[in-house]
Structure formats: structure tokens, C-alpha cells
Amino acid sequence: MDLTFATSSEIAAAVKNGKVTALEVTRHFMSRVQTLDKQINAFVTVNEKAEEAAKAVDAKIAAGKDPGALAGVPVAVKDLLCTKGLRTTASSKILGNFIPPYSSTVVSRLEAAGAITIGKTSLDEFGMGSSNENAASGIVRNPWNPEYVPGGSSGGSAAALSARMASAAIGTDTGGSIRQPASFCGLFGIKPTYGRVSRFGIIAFASSLDQAGPMAHSTADCALMLETISGACSHDSTSASLEVPKWSQLLKDDVKGMRIGLPREYFAEKLDPDVDRVTKEAIEALKARGATTVEISLPLVKHAVPVYYLVATAEASANLARYDGMRFGHRSSNAAHGDLDDLYSRSRGEGFGPEVKRRIMLGTYALSSGYYDAYYAKASQVRRLIRDEFLKAFESCDVILSPVCTSPAFKIGERINDPLEMYLNDIFTTSTNLAGLPGMSVPAGYSSKGLPIGVQLMGRHWDEAKMFNVSLAIENALGAAKARRPHVI
């Protein structure tokens, strides 16, 4: 069996049937990390206890017990999710030595299902960015072309997975951080409906927007991963107590009669010609399989980026207040003796990177008295209207399709000095977070330079099933995910 290119469900089946041991699988992927990650820099921390965990899975099988649906599947976990006993940094200097005393629900559920946490992957510090250039552990390279960014903020997860240093990965998405890197690295990635996945043990960026979700090499693996991590959790009151469908068993690629909504405003943006072409090819493929397209209009979406950057920074400024050198995080040794304010400001000044500082300042301003009504309160009102607009649009369609981004991956260094240009990269992804809707990136083709391009699917609240349905239709029709391999492998 070629472990490198096997799907996660194939690996789990082989481990369960004794064709390969979980330990062999773990060693295989670990050795890929050792050789490939020198070039890619996707991992912040490799899990030294991965082999031990794999042995425990093998012991379970030897004892005749059920090892779980992800038996022996090596998963790369974004370094924003707490892992008990395994360093978790949020790619920030301020948490450089943080060893969590407990695991996030997502990681506990994966491990209970037999998955092996192979390591913790790099991100833009605290999830803030679109290129993985804001990480304390350095930039991450795109395995399709090492001069390009892998996207962000879950860039390490996407790069690790696309270079096949893991079989599946976990990202988080506050404004596009699963979907955009998935698109840039040729992967399937889903941000589920807000409340589908517990946020317990995930370092908070913007609590009303954050959701974790999987990245994978196929629709089926994405579905399997998502059903494992979803569902109510007593530690997160915003997690929904709805039943979690067994998406992996309900998969179909028949889209006959399905209505695909195409938002006029998304296509009016200045699109890179390759993105335009690939998006149209995906639409044609769905039509050829019997889907119909409906033009819809989402006029308020043009406000999504400013609304997002008010809401997200406001919440971030509150969430990041705990890193003060006393309660959490790096403590400066340069503060004046007995001066608590000096200790706070020096600890934060030394620990946070420039983008995080910018966001804290923006968010603090938006929440300050005298400006609150004009900025935060107004943004919250427009957010509600954006949600209503989507709900109205879903009266005439089942799934909405759009580009994920206006362009394929950009070059390292190209946008990092222009924050506004970087923020505008989020134009197509932030609205689903604001509305709480599920969104997915599906590999659909390649640019003329050979970089992957995904299309975005957006569904009604709790209707991930239809997105998986359309995703599988695109996967089977275009075969883009399997058509080419990244430069490094």
C-alpha cells in the first residue's frame, strides 16, 4: 500500500484489518516530516509521543477492541488548538513555552477515534493573516512552489497536508483561514456552521466567528473528519446539540435538479483570469451533471470586509487581554521593579508581533466609548443584515458557488507590507463567518503557473450535507485534486 497517497479512510481500514500497523503509518509520515519540512517549515512542534499513541492504537486492535474510525490516521493540528502536554504556541512569542494542561475537544475526539496527532502546525500569529508570514517560527512555503505563500492563517496545516506529511489536517476559520489555504494548496477544506464544532480548548481569536474544521485530500475524508469532531460539547455553550449526520456514509455525487446560486457581486469583482476560468469550468461541470444555476444578488456583501475587520478586531482585543505576563504568556524581565503597568506593557510589547498589535489597537478603538456606536454597534447591525440577505438568497437556491479568492497563491513578500491589500484578500470568505454559514473550498483546477485553485461552496445553516454533495460532484467531474502533484513530491 502506498501510504503517502492513500486516503485517510483507506489508512484506517488497512490499520483495522492488520494490513499495516498504526506504528508503521506514523513512522512513514514522521520520516516525511523529517525530510520535507526542512524546506516547507509547516510544523512548529513535532509530537514526540506520536509513536507511543500509535502503539496504543495497535494494542487496542490486538486486544480485539474497536480502534475507532480514524485508526492510525496521522493528523496535522493547527497550533491554535490545545494539546495536553504538547506545546501550543498560536505561532506567537507570547505563548512560546505554553504546555496546555488539557486538550481541545477537537483533538480529544480525533484521538478517541484513533487518529495520531503528528505535530502542531504553523499559522499567522493567533490566526491573524492570510499568508502565514506572521508566524514566530518563520514563514511557511507552499509545496506547489516554494516561492509562494501557502495561504493563511492555517498555512502550516495546508502545507503539511499538501506535501503529504500528514493524511489529514485541522485548521480554524474566523474569516477564511481554512478555505483560503485549502484553495492555495489544492485541498478540500470546510468551515462548518458556527456551533457545529466545539471551540473548547481552541485559543480564541474572535469568539463569535471562530470555527475549527478539517482539510483533506477528498470529499470523503473531509466528511469523515468533520463527523468525528462535530457535536455538542458541555464545555462550549455555543456548540449546538443537533444530531451530527454520518456524512461519510451519506455521500452522493448526483446533483440533478440542484439549484446552484451564483452571486452576481462576487463575479463582478476583478478576478484573476485563471480563477475566472476555473470557476466557470466548475459551474459548467455541475450543469453537465444536471444542476441548474440561479443568479442571486448579495449587495451587502461589499461591506463584509470592513464589518469583519471591526467585529474580529474588537473581539480579539478582548480575547487577547489575558496575555499580560501575569495570567498568561511571556513575562518581561525588563520592567521597572514594582510597576505593574510597565510589566504589562513590556510583556505585551515583547510578546506580540506587529499584526497582532495592529489588530488590538483597531479593536480597542472600535470598542472605545464615543466610537462604539459608530463602529462596533454599526458593524453588528450590518452583520445581521448580511445574514438576512443570505437567508433570503437561499430561498431560491440550495448551495451558493463562488471563487474562494480573487487570485491563486501570491508570492512570499508580495503583500506583507500592505495590510489593507492583505485584508482585501478576505473579500469572498468573511461573509460566511459573519452569517454563521458553512463554507467549503473544493479543488477545481490550476493556474497557468501550475498553482492550485479552489472554488467556494456556501450552504444553509446546518446543511453541510448539500455542500459535500456538490463537492463530490466537482471532485468526480474535474478530478483536479488527483490530476497533479506538488513540486516537492
Interface positions with ligand GLN (CB under 6 A): 127-130, 153, 173-177, 205, 312, 426
What is the nearest approach in angstroms of ligand GLN to the Cβ of residue 387?
A: 18
| 137/172 with CB nearer ligand GLN | 172
State which residue, 8 or 91, has the beta carbon closest to ligand GLN: 91
Minimum CB distance to ligand GLN, residue 134 (Å): 9
Q: Which one is catalytic: 153, 239, 248, 402?
A: 153
Give CA–CA dist 301/428, Å, rounded: 8
What is the smallest separation between the CB atom of 55 and ligand GLN, expressed in angstroms? 35
Q: How far is the CB of 65 from ligand GLN (least distance, A)?
A: 38
Known catalytic residue at 78: yes
Residue nearest to ligand GLN (CB): 177
Work out how close the CB of 366 gets to ligand GLN at its nearest, in angstroms, rounded to a whole number.
14
Is 61 or 312 the residue whose CB approaches ligand GLN more closely? Answer: 312
| Residue 91 appears among annotated catalytic residues | no
Closest CA to 379 of 306, 301, 430: 306
Amino acid (one-letter) located at 93: K
Q: Which of 16, 78, 120, 191 is catalytic?
A: 78
How do strand 211-216 and strand 259-263 relate by DSSP bridges? unpaired
**Nearer residue to ligand GLN within complex by CB, 6 or 203:** 203
Catalytic residue among 130, 177, 183, 198: 177
Minimum CB–partner distance for residue 149 and ligand GLN (Å): 12
Q: How far is the CB of 338 from ligand GLN (least distance, A)?
A: 38
Indicate if 153 belongs to the active site. Answer: yes
Which is closer to ligand GLN, CB of 70 or CB of 128? 128
Distances 482 to 14, 168, 186, 207, 485 between C-alpha atoms, Å:
21, 15, 9, 36, 7
CB of 35 to ligand GLN, least distance (A): 29
Q: Catalytic residues, which ones?
A: 78, 153, 177
